[in-house]
Structure 1
Amino acid sequence: MSMTSFLHPARRRGVLGSAVAAALVLTGCGAEVERDAGAGRVTVDRCGEPVRYTLPKRTVAYEGGSADKLFVLGLTDHVHGYVMPPANPPVTESPWASEYAKVKMLSDDLLNKEIVVAAKADLVVAGWNSGFSDQRGITPQILDKLGIQSFMHTESCFNYPGHPERVTPFEALYTDLERLGKIFRVEPKAAGVVDGLKKRVQAVRAGAPKGRPVPVFLYDSGTDQPFTAGRQVPPNDIIATAGGRNIFDGLDKRWAQVTWEAVAKAGPEVIIILDYGDRPADKKIGFLKSSPHTRELPAVKRNNFFVLDYNEGISGPRTIDGLEKFSRYLRSLER
């Protein structure tokens, strides 16, 4: 995850509808969802906080994970546009490239309040510290005051102050799809998508190599000190489900800076390279092969490198594509 991405809806608005309005209470993903027929709103949890949503028609998505979640649910007509920082891979490489082409590219900068106000957005989908940011002045609370709804990725709620929500990264993906399905009133579609993803995950788990999990290091960036994945982000679930062990799964964090000494001590036999930005994967591999900190690592000596696309490493449906690819790679290795 880039440092940019690491840094990478409306709170209850209006009043309740008529007292005679019928309310249907549904449960799913551990969240209570209330339909208020009179007001045309649904109540869905946002990082542990119940929030009432009207049906969005001009959604702004930040980064590929947000847009992909909307597109996989068939919600292109509800998306006004997207914000995609230049470090992200081109949208033309996405399985939903044709859907990206139907909506507006609003900016290649970081998400900010001015962009979403100018777009007349009625919903912003992003992660906490990845899109939403106190430092940049765009938070759910700020948008609430502007009458703009917001949806935060459940995986990022781990860092969100005040209303923390904590589930494993894959469960967070399923949760987001189900919650978005409720917000956009496409629950059957969301249920089908989630069921399909779960079946793919289960197939990988069933076919994972038996025996000792291979130790795996994810290399995001950094030369003086490496930036890597803790246990609260999708690569940790990718590695574990495929039959490996993230050497930093003991870090109760999302993305974190560690030391080369800690990497060397763990002796990774496989290195995942997170591919994004202006430093291609082959440059990162070249650094690891030449650095005195890493050139003697088992993974480096055996040339055991796996390249994970940025959008397969952040919360979104492409995470499961990355899981399947990494699973095939692990099974191909001579153990």
Structure 2
Amino acid sequence: MRTTRAVPLLLATLLAATACGAQVERSTAETVTVPRCAQPVPYRAPERAVAYEAGSADKLFALGLGEKVRGYVMPPANPPVEESPWAADYAATEKLSTDLLNRELVVDAGADLVVAGWRSGFSDERGITPELLDRLGIGSFMHTETCWNYPGFPERVAPLEGLYEDMHRLGAIFRVPERADDVVAGMQARVAAVTDAAPRLDPPPSVFLYDSGTDRPNTAGNQVPPNDIITLAGGRNVLDDVDGRWTDVGWETVVERQPEIIMILDYGDQSAEQKIDYLTSLPQLRSVPAIANRNFFVLDYNEGISGPRNIDGLERFGAYLREFRR
């Protein structure tokens, strides 16, 4: 691991309360202790971070940390980085791979921190876990939203609260806590504006998210950002009783729950239009109000995974619901 200079005394004695009640503990002169999920971990100030997917890179770029990012890994399903609000930061940063995260890539890059999610970047099956990186002397940071079933140190936080938590934690790790406070305050103000303007329909418009799948559709449970986007904008995720992240259900469940709106997650080989065409072609869905009335909302992939663009998705869906009529 790269040896870093001692942090200033003010930061060395930092004690910051975070969004979900966890705390950044007092650090030594060289490290600051920050939760990785529910596990307290000491971090040196990173200089060569590697980010997996746009959600990770966007968080770092939103904090003004482009110079501390060694590179990013962007699987091909992710929409083009040129569409990001931080396109200039991506252009100035090396794309290390268009494959999945792996140990060799991280080591070859000389990374001193890897930012990813549990089972969304980090994976036992692929042989790259925080524990492995600890043994290699490489730091790791996991998106709080993915921590709900992290082995040994689970942490359950509402997805958008997890986004705020991540910004605070990354701010502490990179020694820019005041910058993180400002970024989070800006996000919270935007969220408050949406919730204040949300329609108060009774019952709330019911929404089914369609990710992909033919035999069984993949959708959003209550532990991923779209659940919060739907709820805060004034709707209800028809799968909000599913205690999980991305999950498969049967088409009969979609019919049974009669969603009034279908939210399309836009990514991958199928365009949003192709996904809509597929759904409207299924005879078994003809009785679903969203299909009969062609009520579709397209959510960009990077608005649906944990990252600053969740707020963009919330604002857009909030505007959509304000125009929704039964």
Fold shared by both chains (TM-score > 0.5): yes
- Check whether the contact 1:32–1:43 (CA below 8 A) recurs between aligned residues: no
Counterpart residue type for residue 185 of structure 2: D
- In the alignment, is residue 59 of structure 1 matched against residue 42 of structure 2? no
How far apart in 1 are the matches of 2:298 and 2:27?
A: 47
How far apart in 2 are the matches of 1:295 and 1:106?
A: 45
- Check whether the contact 2:101–2:121 (CA below 8 A) recurs between aligned residues: yes
Structure 1 counterpart of 2:85: 95
- The Cα of 1:104 is off from its aligned counterpart by 0.4
2:293 to 302, 308, 311: 302
TM-score (norm 1): 0.92
1:85 to 72, 75, 96: 75
How far apart in 1 are the matches of 2:96 and 2:211?
A: 27
Long gaps (5+) in structure 1: 1-9
- Check whether the contact 2:111–2:138 (CA below 8 A) recurs between aligned residues: yes
How far apart in 1 are the matches of 2:286 and 2:57?
A: 38
Partner SS, residue 36 of structure 1: coil
1:312 to 303, 313, 319: 303
Structure 1 counterpart of 2:97: 107
- The Cα of 1:268 is off from its aligned counterpart by 0.5
- In the alignment, is residue 140 of structure 1 matched against residue 130 of structure 2? yes
- In the alignment, is residue 74 of structure 1 matched against residue 61 of structure 2? no
1:47 to 37, 42, 57: 37
Structure 2 counterpart of 1:215: 206
Structure 1 counterpart of 2:141: 151
- Check whether the contact 1:234–1:315 (CA below 8 A) recurs between aligned residues: yes
How far apart in 2 are the matches of 1:177 and 1:267?
A: 37
Q: Deviations over 1:92-138 (max 9, x none)?
A: 01010000011100000000001101100000000000000000000
How far apart in 2 are the matches of 1:147 and 1:316?
A: 26
Q: Deviations over 1:234-277 (max 9, x none)?
A: 00000001110000000011111111111101110100000001
Partner SS, residue 162 of structure 1: coil
- In the alignment, is residue 239 of structure 1 matched against residue 208 of structure 2? no
Partner SS, residue 140 of structure 2: strand
- The Cα of 1:28 is off from its aligned counterpart by 1.3
1:188 to 167, 174, 178: 178
Structure 2 counterpart of 1:27: 16
- Check whether the contact 1:88–1:276 (CA below 8 A) recurs between aligned residues: yes
- The correspondence of residues 248-263 of structure 1 with structure 2, limited to 5 A, is 248-263=239-254
1:177 to 167, 171, 190: 167
How far apart in 1 are the matches of 2:261 and 2:25?
A: 46
- Check whether the contact 1:312–1:319 (CA below 8 A) recurs between aligned residues: yes
How far apart in 2 are the matches of 1:23 and 1:121?
A: 23
Counterpart residue type for residue 168 of structure 1: A
1:131 to 116, 121, 140: 121
1:276 to 267, 276, 279: 267
Q: Deviations over 1:179-206 (max 9, x none)?
A: 0000001111100110110111111111
Identity %: 63
- The Cα of 1:32 is off from its aligned counterpart by 2.7
- Check whether the contact 1:35–1:41 (CA below 8 A) recurs between aligned residues: no
**RMSD over aligned Cα, in angstroms?**
1.6
Counterpart residue type for residue 62 of structure 1: Y
- The Cα of 1:35 is off from its aligned counterpart by 4.1
Structure 1 counterpart of 2:256: 265
How far apart in 2 are the matches of 1:248 and 1:159?
A: 18
Long gaps (5+) in structure 2: none
Q: Deviations over 1:260-299 (max 9, x none)?
A: 1111011101000000011111111001100112233111
How far apart in 1 are the matches of 2:91 and 2:223?
A: 32
How far apart in 1 are the matches of 2:176 and 2:253?
A: 46
How far apart in 1 are the matches of 2:195 and 2:102?
A: 39
Partner SS, residue 157 of structure 2: coil
- The Cα of 1:33 is off from its aligned counterpart by 2.1
How far apart in 1 are the matches of 2:294 and 2:145?
A: 32
TM-score (norm 2): 0.94
- Check whether the contact 1:25–1:32 (CA below 8 A) recurs between aligned residues: no
- In the alignment, is residue 119 of structure 1 matched against residue 125 of structure 2? no
Q: Deviations over 1:72-91 (max 9, x none)?
A: 00000100100000000000
Counterpart residue type for residue 216 of structure 2: Q
Q: List structure 1 runs of 4+ shifted beyond 3 angstroms.
A: 34-38
